[in-house]
Structure 1
Amino acid sequence: MDQKILKGLLNPIRMKIFQFVLMNKQATTAEIAKELSDVPPASLYRHLNKMMKDDILGVYGENKIRGVYEKIYEIKNNPLNTINKIVDEKDRDQLYNVCYTFAMSILMDFGEYLKQDEFDLKADKIGLRSIPMYMTDEESDVFITNMYQLINQANNQESKEGRRLRKYSFAFMPTEEKE
């Protein structure tokens, strides 16, 4: 798997762009800008260019608006398909690389957070937890379903004043009990 595609989507703004284009099949720069209204135009263009360079997005076409061409984007490479293929094939090395990339993205995000002049872990609601839980497969299914319902509620909220972009990352897996 091309790791740059997966790494590119671990950025929360790029993930929002990806989700918007994926849900709409295609999207113009103006439509993406409206959806991500809290992202400054220069940053938005930088993210779009990075996604094109990383082969996540491609240009489907262009609209001519008052003499200026506006790009229409579509998904070029959906890394979720690649991850699903790796999962189906049970390729241990590739699975490890996916997990490694995920874990490193969390460390990079936390490193960026710590670079701020002022930070307050409590006020910013930073949570780093590993919580062991005993569950049957059925209880685990209910837990996961409930978590996805909560995630989807939060993920479908629009950007507006008072809301900060937050990234929720988690891993859920069986483990062996250790003394």
Structure 2
Amino acid sequence: MATADLLLHPVRLRILRALLDGRDRTTSDLRGDLPDIAPATLYRHVALLAEAGVLTVVAEQRVRGAVERTYRLPHGSAEVDDDALAAMTPADHRRAFTAFVAGLLADFDRYLDRDDVDPRQDGVGYRQAALWLTDAELDALLAEVRTAVAARLHNPPVPGRVRRLLSTVLMPAGGPPGDDPADGAAG
């Protein structure tokens, strides 16, 4: 598994997002997907991800005397494991969440900068719902969401399919335990 430090760099996050659709890409392909990243920077960060085992080299070919590699993002390789997650400090989580939100904002800005923006037609949404759940109900909800997403995760790109990003945030609301009147512990 990768470390949070490796994955949470803004450029590496964008590279990983570009590869989330399961298609293999060369660094040249990624340059087309991420034209605002300087080529040397892109090559350096792709190499770091490959050296760490986050990206897999699936092909190599000679192009004008240089070796061009084709990369794949294997399912699960860009996830921080439970032990690393548990070892993160609140400051680490704050930094990770900030990187996540910054990437989300950048993705949304790129969407809004297109000429053909139609949020309703495109199924764009951002909502927040407050749910009262026991730990068991939360586990059941998460299992349902994982099942629903997993059933569609490996859909190949075909005519009529649009690559869509699904981003989730789940956290307890309110203050510390006991502050919520529903807990029965407060006034």
Deviation at 1:87, TM superposition (A): 2.1
> Which of residues 107, 116, 119 in structure 2 aligns to 1:118?
116
Alignment partners' CA distance in 1, 2:58 and 2:120: 46
1:9-49 per-residue CA deviation (whole Å, 9 max, x = no partner) reads 345323345xx7xxxxxxxxxxx25xxxxxx9953465697
What residue number does 1:8 align with?
A: 12
Alignment partners' CA distance in 2, 1:157 and 1:129: 25
> Which of residues 38, 41, 57 in structure 1 aligns to 2:50?
57
**CA pair 86-45 structure 1, distance change in 2 beyond 3 A:** same
Deviation at 1:61, TM superposition (A): 9.1
Letter paired with 2:127: R
What residue number does 1:23 align with?
A: none
Contact 1:86 1:94 in 2 (8 A): no
1:51-80 per-residue CA deviation (whole Å, 9 max, x = no partner) reads 6521112486975679975536587xx553
Deviation at 1:143, TM superposition (A): 0.4
| Greater helix share, structure number | 1
Aligned Cα root-mean-square deviation (Å)? 3.7
1:54-112 per-residue CA deviation (whole Å, 9 max, x = no partner) reads 1112486975679975536587xx5534x645521241111100011111111111111
- Unmatched runs of 5 consecutive residues or more in structure 2: 175-179, 182-187
Alignment partners' CA distance in 2, 1:73 and 1:116: 27
* Paired positions, count: 156
> Which of residues 93, 96, 99 in structure 1 aligns to 2:97?
99
What residue number does 2:29 align with?
A: 43
What residue number does 2:131 align with?
A: 133
Alignment partners' CA distance in 1, 2:28 and 2:84: 35
Q: SS in structure 1 opposite 2:69?
A: strand
Q: Identity of paired residues, percent?
A: 17
Contact 1:9 1:15 in 2 (8 A): no
Q: Which has the larger radius of gyration?
A: 2
Contact 1:60 1:74 in 2 (8 A): yes
Contact 2:9 2:99 in 1 (8 A): no
Q: SS in structure 1 opposite 2:122?
A: coil
| Relative contact order, higher structure (CA 8 A, sep 6+) | 1
> Which of residues 163, 167, 174 in structure 1 aligns to 2:165?
167
The 10-residue stretch of structure 1 (165-174 or 50-59) with the greater mean CA deviation from structure 2: 50-59
TM-score by length of 2: 0.65
Contact 1:7 1:105 in 2 (8 A): no
Contact 1:51 1:57 in 2 (8 A): no
Deviation at 1:147, TM superposition (A): 0.2
**CA pair 85-7 structure 1, distance change in 2 beyond 3 A:** farther
Q: SS in structure 1 opposite 2:120?
A: coil
Alignment partners' CA distance in 2, 1:65 and 1:91: 45
